[in-house]
Amino acid sequence: MAKTTEKYELMYIINPTLNEEDTAAVVEKFKALVEQHGTIDEMELMGKRRLAYEINYLTEGYYVLIKFSSNPDFPSELDRILGITDGVIRSLITVRFE
């Protein structure tokens, strides 16, 4: 029988030009979405950091890291939503092996 949950890590970068309220709203949106489809093991608001390279003329971004467990179908839907959300400039979801 296949596993019903897998462990994942999501790192996403929010546009640093958003005000505090809009940034908090994006963070809350994805926190709630992950909790709705799985469980959050760890969440870290890493804050503004310099980007390794310029993205859309931006040199820094607001980094958020979420480690979570969910069924294997959810990450592709999460990635789709991240891709169409205003304010998210980059995201990456990886499988955690622990």
Domains of the chain with CATH codes: 6-10+21-95 (3.30.70.60)
Over the stretch 76-98, which tens digit does the pLDDT of each residue have? 999 999 999 999 999 999 999 87
Q: Across the chain, what does the average pLDDT equal?
A: 94
Over the stretch 15-33, which tens digit does the pLDDT of each residue have? 999 999 999 999 999 999 9
Nearest to 14 by CA among 25, 4, 5, 23: 23
DSSP 3-state of 65: strand
Rounded to two decimals, the pTM is: 0.92
12 neighbors 91 (Cβ within 8 angstroms) = yes
49 neighbors 60 (Cβ within 8 angstroms) = yes
